[in-house]
Amino acid sequence: MPQAAGAAMEGKEVRFGEALSALFAASTTATSTGAVNSFHDSYTAAGGGVLLLNMMLGEVTPGGVGSGLYGMLVLAVVAVFLAGLMVGRTPELLGKKIGPRQMVLVALSVLTMPALPLVGAALTAGVPALVGASVQDAGPHGLSEVLYAYASAANNNGSAFAGFGAATTYQNTALGVVMLLGRFVPVVLVLALAGSLARQTAVPAGAGTLSTRSPVFGALLAVVVVVVAGLTFVPALALAPLVEALS
């Protein structure tokens, strides 16, 4: 379609143009904001895919804002844990030991995000009646719409592929449940993690302590964000925006 029109201006205002619209869209999906100045459903397949990926990373990509901060802290614990495994020492973060109990909480928290949108989207995509009631476009773009709706709800983003008809009883209920679980399950788990860490007495940093201020740790954390959160969604992204972009 953008080739037919000459530019991807469907759903965009002239004064913003393609560049500012895309910048705003990337910012709003990466930071749990949800406001829009252009309509994401009409983005190119790859453009919409980037917005999906931004939300699927847990909206932590700029370092985390709003509820995104604890998302980043949880991933920092994962990074510390991985680093600890590599050098064969007990992982610790800010003087607190990361033990099995902490890792169970962290793992559950990290798994909440992929589980909610994928299960929710799979339920809708798997039932023909639900697809017929809500999905606007046929083919891979339709799957993108479903994925976007559930990724946005699970991350409390609020933006939408608005061609998706969310105003049905089923979608209102299912998206509402995903929204509540997506917000409060991680909150409870992170509070439990904080409580278990608070009970420990801090141990002084030793020679084997990984410095969380080094660029190495920064790089490791970035890789963890992409690997842990990103790879969970690659199969779903491959079926929806990637197929659409290549077709």
Partner 1 sequence: MPARATAPLRLAGACLRLLLALTLLLGVAYPGVVLLAGRLVPERADGSPVRVDGAVVGSALLGQAVPDGPDGDAWFHPRPSAAGDGYDPLASGASNLGPSSPELLALVEERRAAVAAREGVDPAAVPPDAVTASASGLDPHVSPEYAALQVPRVARERGLPEAEVRALVEGASRGRALGFVGEPVVDVLALNVALEDAAGPAAVR
Residues that bind partner 1 (CB under 8 A): 1-2, 4-17, 20-21, 36-39, 41-45, 48, 136-137, 139-141, 144-145, 161-163, 244, 247
User: Is the Cβ–Cβ distance between 213 and 40 less than 8 Å?
Assistant: no
Q: State which residue, 19 or 207, has the beta carbon closest to partner 1.
A: 19
Residue 102 C-beta: closest distance to partner 1, Å: 40
Backbone φ and ψ of 93, nearest 5°: -130, 125
Residue 116 C-beta: closest distance to partner 1, Å: 24
Under 8 Å CB-to-CB from 225, ≥6 apart: which residues? 57, 58, 60, 61, 72, 75
Q: State which residue, 83 or 121, has the beta carbon closest to partner 1.
A: 121
Cβ of 198: how many Cβ atoms within 10 Å?
8
Q: State which residue, 42 or 109, has the beta carbon closest to partner 1.
A: 42
Residue 4 C-beta: closest distance to partner 1, Å: 5
Residue 176 C-beta: closest distance to partner 1, Å: 22
The DSSP secondary structure of 135-194, one letter per residue, reads --S-THHHHHHHHHHHHHHHTT-----TTS---SHHHHHHHHHHHHHHHHHHHHHHHHHH
Q: State which residue, 226 or 246, has the beta carbon closest to partner 1.
A: 246
